[in-house]
Amino acid sequence: MSEQVLLKNIDDPNGHKIETYEASGGYQGLRIVLRDFSPDEVIEEVKSANLRGRGGAGFPTGLKWGFVPKDSPLPRYLCCNADEGEPGTFKDRILMERDPHQLIEGMVIAAYAIGCRTAYLYIRGEYHLSIDHCQQAIAAAHARGYLGANILDSDHSLEIHIHKGAGAYICGEETAMLESIEGRRGLPKLKPPFPAVAGLYDCPTVVNNVETLACLPHLFRRGGEWFASIGPDHSPGPKLFGLSGQLKRPGLYELPMGMALGEMLEVHGGGALTGKFKAAIPGGVSAPMFPRSAFDVKMDFSSLAAAGSMLGSAGVIGLDETASIPVVARRITEFFSHESCGKCTPCREGLTWAAKILRRIEAGQGQVGDVDQLEMLCGGIFGNSFCALGDGAAWALGAALKHFRPEFDALITAQSQAG
Amino acid sequence: MSDARSLSDIKSELAAQVQQVMTRYPTTRSAIMPALDLAQQKYGGVDGLTYQAVAELLDVPEIWVFEVASFYSLYDRAATGRHHIRLCTNLPCLLRGAEALMRHLQQRLAVGPGETTGDGRFTLSAVECLGACELAPVLMANRQYHGDLTAAKLDALLASLADQPAEEMS
Ligand SMILES: Cc1cc2nc3c(=O)[nH]c(=O)nc-3n(C[C@H](O)[C@H](O)[C@H](O)COP(=O)(O)O)c2cc1C
Ligand code: SF4
Ligand code: FES
C-alpha cells in the first residue's frame, strides 16, 4: 500500500485531538511557513508543487490565490467549502470527523498566503460530528497559539468561524456558498467578477475545498518537491477516493492519482457485488459514467478530462450487472432536478422534463422518440445553464444515453410491443 | 415550533446567543441562518413568530428571514415527529437497496415520505445523499447516522426509538 498521508491518523480514536495531531508532525508545516516563507513565496511553492483543487474542478490552487489583488485596501476572505453534497462523496466528512486539525492548519497557511484575517468554514448542516470536531479543533488551536492574534508570535492573525449549511446542494457552488454566508438564498452569481476579485461582501475571496486545504500542512512540512513526486506530474499529491455503490469494499481510500479505474474498483474496491461490473462513475454523479470497456482510463484530473469525464469529487461509484442504467439515469436526473435552484430556464425546466420522461420509460410507458427527446434536452441544457449544476446534469445523462442506449430502447420497445 | 410562547418570550430566549453569533460577521444579515438554527434547536422548528423574532433581533426585514427559511430544506417549517428519520435514496444507497427499505419503513410506520405518524412519534423523509455513502444504505435518525441497513436493522432501530424521547431536537 502506498504511504498514507491524509489518512495517517484516520483509524486512531483520538485522531481528532490536537495532541495526536502534533505528535505526528502537526503544525510543523505552519511553523516552517511562518519562519521561512513570505506570503508570495507560499503561493509560488504551491504553484510549483502543482496542487490542484480537490473540490471538483481541479483548478490549480496557487494560481487561484495569485488572482487576489495585492493592492486592494479591502479585507480578504478565505472560505472553506465543506458543503459536500455530491452523491458518492464523503471524504471531507471523514477528514473533519477524524483528523480536523489538518484542515485548520491548512486554513491558517492559506490565509497567510492571501493576507486574510477572517475565514469561514461552511459545513453542511447534517454533519453534526464534523461541526463538533472542527469547533473543538478551532478552540484547541486557539489555546496553543495557532489561531487568533499574532499566530506563533508572527504578524499573522486569523479567526475561523463555522457557518452551518442547511440542506442545499447548490450551496457547494462557490458563488452560491458566498451568498449563503451573506444570509441569502443560495443562488449562483454571474462570473466574472470572480470571487478572487469580488467575492464575500464584495471583497477578494478564495474558496477552497476541505481536502485541498488539508494537503497544505503536508506540502510545507515535507516540501513542494516531495508533494509533486506523488502520482503523475500533471495531477500530483496525496488523493482521497471514496468508493461506493455495488462493490465489495466500499470506503475511503488514499491512493496516488493515475491508477486505472478498473484496478481501483477490483483491487481496492474488492470487485463487483454481483457478477461483474457494468459501468462506473468516476467522480460523483455529475461525472459522466464509463462502461466496463473503458475501465483502463487513468484516475487523474487530466486523463479523465481527456476521456470525456472528470475526476470531480473523486467519488467512485461502481455499477454491477444487476444495475439498470435507465433507473440510474432517472435517479441522477431527479437529484439534479430537485436541487436545481430554479434561477435559469434550461436547468429548471429541462431537468423537470428529462426526469418526467425517464420516469415514464421506467414505468413501461415510454414512447418511441423519447430517447431522442432526452438527447435533445441534454443538448439544450449543456452549455446554456447559468452554473455547472445544469451542465453536469446534462453531461451525466448524456453519457448514460450514449453508452447504454439499447437498455433504454429495450424498455420502450417492450412497451410498444405489449401495447 | 414556538407553541404558546409570545414574540417577546422568543426574543428574550434567543437574544444572548444571537448577539454572540452576530459578532462573527460584518453584516447582521449573515446571522440569519445561525439565528434560525438556534431557534430550531430550541423549539424544534421555525414559524412566523420565529421569523419576526429573528428579524427584530437582527434589525433586518422579516422577508429576508422568510426567504432564507423557505429556501433551505433543513429548517422545519411544519411540525415534525419526535424522531425524524431521513432515509437517503440517492444513487449509491439506491444501488444497495434503499428503495426496498423505504417501502419497508412506509409499511411499518403507515406513512409516506414527508409525513408524520398519527401519534406524533415519527416523521419519515426521503433525502438526497447524506455524505455517508460508504455506509450505504444509510439513514439519519435525528442527529445520528445508521448504516449498512437491512429490514431487520430498521425494525430494531424503530423499536429502540419508539421508547425514547428525541435525544436532541435538530
Ligand atoms: C453544483 C455544484 C456543487 C458543488 N459542490 C461542491 C462541494 O460540495 N464541495 C466543494 O468543495 N466544491 C463544490 N463545488 C465546486 C466549487 O464551486 C469550487 O470550485 C470549489 O469549492 C473550489 O475549491 P478547490 O479549488 O479547492 O477545488 C461545486 C460546484 C458546483 C457547480
Ligand atoms: S444551472 Fe440550475 S442550479 Fe445553476 S443557476 Fe441555473 S437553475 Fe440554478
Ligand atoms: S447516496 Fe446515500 S449517503 Fe450518499
More confident call, B1 vs A26? A26
β pairing state of A118-123 and A159-164: parallel
Please report which confidence band the pLDDT of residue B162 belongs to, taking 50, 70 and 90 as the band edges. Answer: confident
Asked if the Cβ–Cβ distance from A332 to B131 is below 8 Å, we say no
The CA B33 to ligand 3 mean position distance, Å, reads: 25
Average pLDDT over residues B79-96: 96
Per-residue pLDDT at A170 exceeds 50: yes
Write down the pLDDT at residue B169: 42
**Residue A128: what are its φ and ψ, rounded to 5°?**
-60, -45
Task: For residue A363, give the C-alpha cell.
Answer: 414505468
Name the CA radius of gyration of chain A, rounded.
22
- Rounded Cα–Cα distance for residues A103 and A272 (Å): 33
Q: Looking at the CA of A89, name the nearest ligand.
A: 3
Average pLDDT over residues A5-11: 97
Residue-wise pLDDT for A26-80, tens only, equals 999 999 999 999 999 999 999 999 999 999 999 999 999 999 999 999 999 999 9
Please report which confidence band the pLDDT of residue B35 belongs to, taking 50, 70 and 90 as the band edges. Answer: very high
First to last CA, chain A: 56
Going edge to edge, which strands form the sheet with A315-320? A251-254, A240-245, A315-320, A277-281, A290-291
Asked if the Cβ–Cβ distance from B29 to A184 is below 8 Å, we say yes
Residue-wise pLDDT for A336-363, tens only, equals 999 999 999 999 999 999 999 999 999 9
**Residue A33: what are its φ and ψ, rounded to 5°?**
-60, -50
Per-residue pLDDT at A418 exceeds 90: no
Residues 6+ apart with CB under 8 A from B134: A90, A242, A243, A244, A250, A251, A252, B147
Mapped to the 3 state alphabet, what secondary structure does B102-168 carry?
HHHHHHHHCCCCCEECCCCCEEEEEECCCCCHHHCCCEEECCEEECCCCHHHHHHHHHHHHCCCCCC
Query: By the CB < 8 Å criterion, does B22 face chain A?
Result: no
SS3 A174: helix
Residue-wise pLDDT for A205-234, tens only, equals 999 999 999 999 999 999 999 999 999 999
Residue-wise pLDDT for A290-309, tens only, equals 999 999 999 999 999 999 99
Residue-wise pLDDT for A302-334, tens only, equals 999 999 999 999 999 999 999 999 999 999 999
Q: Do the Cβ atoms of A54 and A314 come closer than 8 Å?
A: yes
Write down the pLDDT at residue A125: 97
Among the partner-chain residues A92, A180, A317, the one whose CB lies closest to the CB of B92 is A317
Question: What residues of B are in contact with residue A338 (Cβ under 8 Å)?
Answer: 128
Please report which confidence band the pLDDT of residue B5 belongs to, taking 50, 70 and 90 as the band edges. Answer: confident
Residue-wise pLDDT for B48-85, tens only, equals 999 999 999 999 999 999 999 999 999 999 989 999 99
Average pLDDT over residues A122-139: 98
Task: For residue A378, give the C-alpha cell.
Answer: 441534454
- Rounded Cα–Cα distance for residues A44 and A38 (Å): 10
Averaged confidence pLDDT in chain A: 97
Per-residue pLDDT at B168 exceeds 50: no
Averaged confidence pLDDT in chain B: 94
Question: What residues of A are in contact with residue B136 (Cβ under 8 Å)?
Answer: 244-245, 250
Side-chain half-sphere of A336: how many Cα atoms within 13 Å? 34
CA-wise closest residue to B146 among B154, B138, B136: B138
Please report which confidence band the pLDDT of residue A375 belongs to, taking 50, 70 and 90 as the band edges. Answer: very high
Asked if the Cβ–Cβ distance from B134 to A250 is below 8 Å, we say yes
The CA B81 to ligand 3 mean position distance, Å, reads: 23
SS3 A166: coil
Write down the pLDDT at residue A278: 98
A72, A259, A265 from A276: Cα distances, Å: 57, 19, 11
CA-wise closest residue to A205 among A247, A177, A245: A177
Residue-wise pLDDT for B99-127, tens only, equals 999 999 999 999 999 999 999 999 999 99
Q: Do the Cβ atoms of A345 and A353 come closer than 8 Å?
A: no
Please report which confidence band the pLDDT of residue B164 belongs to, taking 50, 70 and 90 as the band edges. Answer: confident
ipTM (interface predicted TM): 0.95
SS3 A163: strand
pTM for this prediction = 0.97
A342 CA: nearest ligand 2 atom: 7
Query: By the CB < 8 Å criterion, does A263 face chain B?
Result: no
Q: Dump the DSSP string for A308-349.
A: TS--TT-EEEEEETT--HHHHHHHHHHHHHHH--S-SHHHHH
In this structure, the residue with its CA closest to atom 4 of ligand 2 is A387
pLDDT exceeding 90 applies to what percent of chain A? 98
A35, A85, A226, A318 from A38: Cα distances, Å: 9, 35, 20, 45
